[in-house]
Structure 1
Amino acid sequence: VVQQLTEEQKMKREGYLQKRRRKGGHTQSATKKNQIQILATNITSDQVDMQGLYPIYSLRWQVEILFKTWKSLFHIDKVRAMNPERFSCHLYGTLIHILLSSMIAFQCRYYLYQKHQIEGSEFKCIDHVKSAIEEDQGQALYHSTSFITLIKNIYQNVYRHGRKDHRYQHKSPFDILYLTYEQTFQAV
């Protein structure tokens, strides 16, 4: 998909290119491509129109943020030397910790957005959940009343400290996905 940029988008891109020029990262091909935007996809125009494609394409950064979060908080890129059986246990334990933290953080973020129209930061939310599970040493996972208390504490911490900073008036992933869901369900 090739589309011409609006004047506002051209100005933003030109500002970015000027910063790169000052750092010595200027390329002539970037200057030539300042007028258009090119997206390569296998989605047909029947499924999504050209204007709806860019917000969906921008969601790919959410995957990058998630992997960065896992790498930063759970240190999945650094493992000490150990025997294979111990490594398997360590890997499975870490993956379970990531799964629990991600699921609880997503539910907290979703509830915050639904109830208060506040978007929680992926990184901050997972960090709060990870810390709460580690402080509790997993004991709350075995008792339903302490688990509910743990979830409430996590939610309150995310509400107080986990807000996402919105920059440059970007749409949130929740906004983009809602638009996508709305278009999908209208078509059915």
Structure 2
Amino acid sequence: EGWNVYFCNESAKPNWSQCTLSIGELFLQFLDYFAKFDWANQVVQIRQTNMMSKIERGWKEYMCIEDPFELIRNLGHIVTKAMFTSIINSFAVSYEVFSTFKERIQELEDCSDDCVARFGSSLFAKCRELAGEKMKKLEEEEQQLRREKDALFDEVLKKLNIIAEEKKRKVEEEKRKRREEEERNKKEKE
């Protein structure tokens, strides 16, 4: 398609220092970064060192992730609001779970790939469970807010109807008084 995806230019290679963080610490920072990422305004992309805004890309979806090979494609275009909320909650809950089990992260780094797979799957299952509980609680809160909003709307509507009826009654009263006044004036002239 004409995109330059060559990843290494020896002369332009950054002079980065050696990473001193452990895999566990990097993973925690990854979770924290995406839990706190400005999804409302920013695009996830690996092409540039500076941040890229959704406005700059002309994207409006909940989650915007630039395809590194097809730059005009947003990999997050299919993410719905519910999926987005679930993903963000999963980042946050996973960060909470992993950061409270720092000793487990050390275990994770000390064991084999098989151990990592077993431990990771059970911990991710716990994260999914916690995220599910959090989603259920958020949905219940959303339903409660919706009920409160509907009740408030009904109350406002009732008050507006009362005000409208009162105004209508006053207008009718004024019309009646004018008619009576006109009739009196007419009788007086006769």
TM bin, normalised by shorter chain, reads under 0.3
TM-score of the superposition, structure 2-length normalised? 0.28
Structure number with the bigger relative contact order (C-alpha 8 A, sep ≥ 6) is 1
Larger radius of gyration: 2
Relative to total residues, which structure has the larger helix share, 1 or 2? 1
